[in-house]
Amino acid sequence: MLKGKLVDIRPLESSDLDWFTEWNNDPHYTGPFEPLEVNSRDKIEKWYDSEKNAEWWVITDKLDNPVGQLVAGPQGDCYWLGYILHPDHRGKGYATEAVKLLVDYLFRAKNLVRVQAECSPENKASVRVLEKAGFTYEGLRRKAVLIQGQFLDSAIFSILKDEWAPIHS
């Protein structure tokens, strides 16, 4: 478990799969910027048992209640990450702190040069999370993501290990 001032993050466990399934099947949770693929609890459990490339994390409040999730995975010599918060917990600084905790862990635990993330440029809250976490905007992948039947742009952000160290040493 990684501890912050506002939130903690811990690896996703099989005991989390009930709320994880419910939240990820809820369009209010995924919002207009993420694809919604409705999956059964059994399908999610099979995925959880077989997933080896990505690391899933639970964001919890200080009472150990889940408030969101993070995911990170290897992509060459770097890692990508993603995050989402339950709508009831957005706007409280939770995502920013969770991203910082995970990036710090990734740079310390793995031999990485860079961590990157993508989000919709229209998702101003997500853009702000990445900016506040020290990420740099690199550019736009045009019509790169299929969301609700439309191809949308995706903004690319990254942070390099040598940029991270001065911020958090």
Q: How many domains does the chain have?
A: 1
In the predicted model, is pLDDT for residue 39 greater than 90?
no
CB atoms within 10 A of CB 138: 12
The residue range of the domain holding 136 is 2-168
pLDDT category at 149 given cuts 50, 70, 90 is: confident
Output the domain CATH number for residue 16. 3.40.630.30
Query: CA dihedral defined by 95, 110, 23, 132, rounded to 10 degrees?
Result: 10
Residue spans of alpha helices (H) in the chain: 17-24, 27-30, 41-50, 94-109, 124-132, 161-168
pLDDT category at 38 given cuts 50, 70, 90 is: low
3-state SS class at 169:
coil
In the predicted model, is pLDDT for residue 58 greater than 80?
yes
Residues 6+ apart with CB under 8 A from 70: 9, 56, 57, 58, 59, 81, 82, 83, 98, 99, 102
pTM beyond cutoff 0.85: yes
Identify which of 153, 134, 156 has the alpha carbon closest to the alpha carbon of residue 80.
156
